[in-house]
Structure 1
Amino acid sequence: MLDWLTGYFMGWFAVLGLSTLLFALRRGRKPGPLPEPLPRVSILIAARNEEAAIGRCLASVRALNYPAHLLEVLLGDDASTDRTRAIAEQVMHDYDGDFQCVNISDTLGFARGKANVLAHLARVATSDYYFITDADIAVPPTWIEGLLPYAQPGVGTVTGLTVVEGPRLFDRLQGLDWLISLGLVQVVSDFGVPVTAMGNNMLVTRAAYQATGGYEQLPFSVTEDYELFKAVLRQGFTFRNVFRPEVLALSLPIATVARLLHQRRRWLRGVEALPWWLQLGLVYYALFYLALALLAWTGGLALAAQVWLTKMVLQGLLAAICFRRLGRRPPLELLPVFELYTIFLTAGLGAFRALRLKFDWKGRVYK
């Protein structure tokens, strides 16, 4: 047993160490120049009962550096029962660009939920570039000119970065979790392996979107962004993931542990659609704490503590590089608590998956 565990941890640390080294050495793809003349672009935002967040989101859209007369902002009001629409119209009053609040009252084809909202908005959009974000996101002023240069011929999707930001310890742990995960995703993406796209910070070209038939023609999924991403790739388009401060969006945190588990269970549906070898790698990565418990039982607490400390050091190094690459201070003081957060999240998601519980998202329940 001890030999097996030794081999497991050697492999685990080799993968994390190599990933950290590759990320530290990466130069990334250089963006092309901005198109001349600057094109008109569409910003698509799905909203359902977002009165607490939509003002912040739209204020960040108003603050974009991109010329307002070239922006078409489309907000899809998905049967909200609160003041989402009223607040949105108030914030966007006298906006120099085009703003339209689209009432979503019917469904298109197979689309449901957010996918249905985006299907409607894509039909209304008049530009060749769809910039998609969420109501709980504040995009940076450089968002459009940060993503647009990567939408070169043949590229269907361009994905930016999103990190959670909030004052509570729980909020900061979510932020650390997001950025470490996105750093690892970037390493794989830089080798041309399509892992995922994020529907809260994504550019999709009209050509790529229409080639798929749109959301109304895609199988329903609670991870609609990944479903679209796969469909775009099947049509022969490529992708870009951009790890740069110019495209760093800020997400409001999930308020409760229960809501966080529902969010991550939804994301897990996307993970379950990944290629088998990537799924196997993620399972290998996630078994760390079970293997650590077995090591404490067979090899003693002191040896297990050394292995755990090694993990924190390596993970802290990756976190430091990720945060500093974006000009942000790495919260390394959170690493011990982050371990407890990760253990709880892993166990909670495992129970959620094993019991096949339904999950609630935006007031809608999915199996």
Structure 2
Amino acid sequence: MLPRRYRRRRQGARPHRPRVSILVAARNEEATIERCLRSLAQQRYPSGRLEILIADDHSTDATAAVIEAFIQDKPHFRLLRVREQLGRAKDKSNALAYLCRAATTDYFLFTDADMALSPDWVSTMVAAVEPGVGVVTGVTTSEGSLFGRLQGLDWLFGLNVIRILAERGLPSSAVGNNMLLTRAACESIGCLEDMQFNVSEDLQIFQEVVARGWGYRHLCEPQALGVSEAQPTVQALLKQRKRWMKSAGGLPWYLSGLFGMYGVFYAVLFWPGFLPLSVVAAIYLGKIGLQTVFLALTLRQTGRRINLGVLLLYEFYLCAMSLAVLAYTVWPGRLEWKERRYVLAEA
């Protein structure tokens, strides 16, 4: 958990301010897109060094109209309408490929239409790029109601585990709603146009970039934080997690094994008669204690605060959601994503 600083700043040195492209794929996001655009307009980065490209991916609501109204007096914003399929890309991957083809800079910053980013997001992500680094990932959370804050803890927990493994030479994944690719790294994987379609395009992008020898950085600090809209209902959350679970087979063994052990923990510990009740209680309380400390440190690193009661409640949320997600994932049915449906083999 000890933080590692990758940024090398000299006293009084002028920060590097290259031109940057911010790429946002949007589909049926009329309720959330303005919040995202507002956070991008408030970046503490010279607007003349930014191009912000938003792709309307065949929305059937007023997404395009909301975007047009917001950007009408902002020349560094531009709305693109996805009209064709590029290579093997499909749906959101195709929208991202469309954006990459339109971008004119050497740095591509990706985020989602339901995200709000820190005002120093662009500066922080760009400052983490060193020679040989092709991909940088920030950290994401969510907020709002108690249900939203528990989802936010889930984001922080998983992403900090991924960061800790990566800093020890075990790269596994990235989060596509808070990610930077250099143009060179993006072009090395065909700017997404050559990738086989997958509903977890961020995992696929990260792994293909790293496989081509590019370095990576995972940031866990307030300036690299993005706040995602929480899923409003349990059903919506289950649909999201089912998509994530279907991509778990592509994770490296050490991460899928770690999360697998985490899931098996409950079954082993609470198997009737397997362990004495005193041992079960000691192990379970120890697990909750360590987990709470881990989350408290993660929150501190990201500049967030949540009271102790919510941290302790996270354990019961995690247990219930783990069982619900497992049942929902194995239940027969198509996978739904952005109001599109996929057969599982396609996912």
What TM-score do you get using the length of structure 1 for normalisation? 0.88
In the aligned structure 1, how far is the partner of 2:311 from the partner of 2:129?
Answer: 36
**Identical amino acids, percent of aligned pairs:** 40
Asked if structure 1 preserves the Cα contact closer than 8 Å seen for 2:27 and 2:338, the reply is: yes
Match of residue 107, structure 1, among 54, 78, 85: 85
Change (3 A) 1:230 1:142: same
**In structure 1, C-alpha distance between the alignment counterparts of 2:275 and 2:251, rounded to whole Å:** 35
User: How far is 1:37 from its partner?
Assistant: 5.8
**Tell me, what secondary structure is at the counterpart of 2:176?**
coil
Q: What SS class does the counterpart of residue 135 from structure 2 fall into?
A: strand
CA distance, structure 1, for counterparts of residue 276 and residue 213 of structure 2? 53
Residue identity opposite 2:275 in structure 1: G
* 2:128 corresponds to 1:150: yes
Asked whether 1:218 is paired with 2:195, we answer yes
Corresponding residue for residue 350 of structure 1 = 326
Instruction: With the length of structure 2 as denominator, give the TM-score of the two structures.
Output: 0.93
1:204-243 superposed matches below 5 A? 204-243=181-220
Structure 1 unpaired stretches of 5+: 1-22
- 1:82-124 CA-to-partner distances (Å, cap 9, x unmatched) read 11111112222312x5211110122112111211100001010
Which structure: greater helix fraction?
1
Note the C-alpha offset of 1:335. 3.6
Deviation at 1:302, TM superposition (A): 4.2
Q: Is the 8 A contact 1:35 1:149 kept in 2?
A: no
Partner of 1:86: 65
Q: Please state if 1:49 is matched with 2:28.
A: yes
Listed one character per residue, the Cα deviations across residues 1-44 of structure 1 (whole Å, up to 9, x for unaligned) are xxxxxxxxxxxxxxxxxxxxxx1xx1313313498662111000
Structure 2 stretches lacking a partner, 5+ long: none
1:199 corresponds, among 147, 163, 176, to 176
Q: Distance in 2 between matches of 1:211 and 1:352?
A: 37
- CA drift of 1:356 comes to 4.6
The answer as to 2:116 corresponding to 1:116 is: no
Counterpart amino acid of 1:106?
E
Amino acid at match of 1:89: E
What code does the residue aligned with 1:127 have?
A: T
- Asked whether the equivalents of residues 241 and 325 of structure 2 are also in contact (C-alpha less than 8 Å), the reply is yes
Give the C-alpha shift of residue 301 in structure 1: 3.9
Partner of 2:152: 175
Deviations 1:48-84 (A, max 9, x none): 0100000000000000000001110100001111111
CA distance in structure 2 between the partners assigned to 1:183 and 1:236 by the alignment: 23
Q: Once the 2 structures are TM-superposed, how far is the Cα of residue 336 of structure 1 from its aligned partner?
A: 4.0
Alignment correspondent of 1:254: 231
Letter in 2 for 1:131: L
How far apart, CA to CA, are the structure 2 residues paired with 1:281 and 1:143? Answer: 30
Amino acid of the residue matched to residue 238 of structure 1?
Answer: G
Do 1:41 and 1:70's aligned partners in 2 also have CA atoms closer than 8 Å?
yes
In the other structure, the counterpart of 1:14 is none
8 Å Cα contact 2:71-2:78 kept in structure 1:
no
Aligned length: 340
RMSD: 1.7
Per-residue CA distance 1:190-215 (angstroms, 9 max, x = gap): 11211111110000001100111121
Could you say which residue in structure 1 is the equivalent of 2:249?
A: 272
- Aligned partner of 1:40 among 14, 19, 22: 19
